[in-house]
Structure 1
């Protein structure tokens, strides 16, 4: 595990870009959980995106997604709070979920306008926290932004089969991360297990075609729409899992990141999904 984390940290550092001018970041705790709060200079108050990083529940932290969060802050003109949740296998489910919930509640105690988002495992956590907030009737979230999330789909069908050996993430990798997280059976670990999707916030999702997790977005969107919740999926036919790292060198990845930024801005500032982009 130490070797995996060291490799992932080097991988993230290789692609990392400096924060945009005007973005300040402060490390602090929300609900006792280490977080990093990004703010844009010159803004007194702004809506907040609570962001959960990817890494299969076992990798990553505040530094791995620092540039992503800073660019979302600048591009969407919102505050971003990145959550440094505990990692498996040392801290299996529900540790990461509980940390996300504690941080979300603390942020909500001082901010009325909140959206939640994340990539990969972080997208899973964001969707799960939407369920928890809906069940508890607070905090009220204006939207969810899920970037190639793993939501607990059937690993014996669909894209889990057709993209089982996709570059960047295989179905065997997904199985390993799920087994390490050890949350199977709970809707807060596998949001697609929920049976009632009413009352959830509008969702913007990004699915990478070359990714075993691809179909999870469409299954979740179908469940939301059937429950009367607005949901939009941006399907990326040319991209692989974790393509956010390539946003500064790949035109399709850049276009997708711009759409993600626009979705964050539209949901955070207006509480609605943006017009669909291609």
Structure 2
């Protein structure tokens, strides 16, 4: 049994306890609407505001059959080398433009890049492939609307969607310039190390993953849903995967890196020691989470400029 008391420091435990304080013990039995309300209240409690000079505009991508709400973040001192398309986490069931609002604003402020957050459709009202279809449509819109490179970024479920978009759009004239995946769920084999060692991790368990997979629907053998199920990992954009050590999903990023490297691509995976799933919200209260967010910012900046500052082979963890 994993000794989390030894792995997790006091700051991170305080973050876990603060997060859990928003959730009643029987939350899993609540309706979807009630669970979303709880999640939204929890996200608001961690909101830290916008960096100075960052503004946001909420608008929508207009398609023939639907509109996809987006929020566009701009810096007073912009860097036009690239733009970022951000896909939020939340198990494909939770979250939206407000849940990751300050994360996107800070990513904009620290990179100078324009950041576009995507409010993709959620399950169970819209099951797979609805979220994927919205993410792909948002990428095509961004590629047409911006002459500059597009960097994909997403956490958890959003990391899954970012990777799925990369697989679906490779080989096109306008493909992603890079992707930064933050504790992504990529449909990994449950025999992988982290699924076994961290099946009962604080913040996310294998049982939780099963719940979200059922809610989302679809087939795990479909690469649009589980990027690790693809049979071809060639021609993918330069990839940085950042994982939390105390998270059953950690090995997904590691396996994804290995397959991209084996196919001749560029990939780097880093496991953040002592951190848990969802730690982005704790980046201003937990030293380890703050350091990780700086790594994420550096990765987005580097990929946006077309540089690759990681050691050859991508094996450093």
Into which bin does the TM-score normalised by the smaller protein fall? over 0.9
Aligned equivalents of 2:272, 2:78: Cα separation in 1? 33
Using the TM superposition, give the Cα deviation of residue 46 of structure 1 relative to its aligned residue in structure 2, in angstroms: 4.7
**Mean Cα deviation higher: 157-166 or 217-226:** 157-166
Aligned equivalents of 2:191, 2:271: Cα separation in 1? 21
Aligned to 2:264: 228
The higher radius of gyration belongs to 2
Aligned to 1:114: 150
- For residues 81-135 of structure 1, the C-alpha deviation after alignment (integer angstroms, 9 at most, x for no partner) is 0000000000000100011111111111021311101000000000000001115
**Is the contact between residue 79 and residue 112 of structure 2 (CA under 8 Å) also seen in structure 1?**
no
Aligned equivalents of 2:189, 2:80: Cα separation in 1? 42
CA RMSD of aligned residues (A): 1.5
Local SS of the residue matching 2:91 = coil
Aligned equivalents of 2:212, 2:218: Cα separation in 1? 10
Aligned equivalents of 1:274, 1:239: Cα separation in 2? 24
**Is the contact between residue 46 and residue 79 of structure 1 (CA under 8 Å) also seen in structure 2?**
no
**1:13 and 2:44 equivalent?**
yes
Local SS of the residue matching 2:170 = helix
Local SS of the residue matching 1:3 = helix
Aligned equivalents of 1:259, 1:274: Cα separation in 2? 12
Local SS of the residue matching 1:19 = coil
Aligned equivalents of 1:238, 1:8: Cα separation in 2? 23
Aligned to 2:73: 38
Aligned to 1:219: 255
Using the TM superposition, give the Cα deviation of residue 43 of structure 1 relative to its aligned residue in structure 2, in angstroms: 2.9
Aligned equivalents of 2:192, 2:150: Cα separation in 1? 35
Aligned to 2:194: 159
Give me the TM-score of the superposition, normalised by structure 1: 0.96
Aligned to 1:22: 53
Give me the TM-score of the superposition, normalised by structure 2: 0.84
Aligned to 1:199: 235
Aligned to 1:55: 90
- Count, aligned residues: 276
Local SS of the residue matching 2:160 = helix
Aligned to 2:8: none
Using the TM superposition, give the Cα deviation of residue 141 of structure 1 relative to its aligned residue in structure 2, in angstroms: 1.3
Aligned equivalents of 2:207, 2:301: Cα separation in 1? 35
Local SS of the residue matching 2:116 = strand
Using the TM superposition, give the Cα deviation of residue 156 of structure 1 relative to its aligned residue in structure 2, in angstroms: 4.2
**1:133 and 2:164 equivalent?**
no
**1:71 and 2:106 equivalent?**
yes
Using the TM superposition, give the Cα deviation of residue 45 of structure 1 relative to its aligned residue in structure 2, in angstroms: 3.7
Aligned equivalents of 2:265, 2:302: Cα separation in 1? 16
**1:178 and 2:213 equivalent?**
yes
Aligned equivalents of 1:183, 1:217: Cα separation in 2? 21
Gaps of 5+ in 1: none
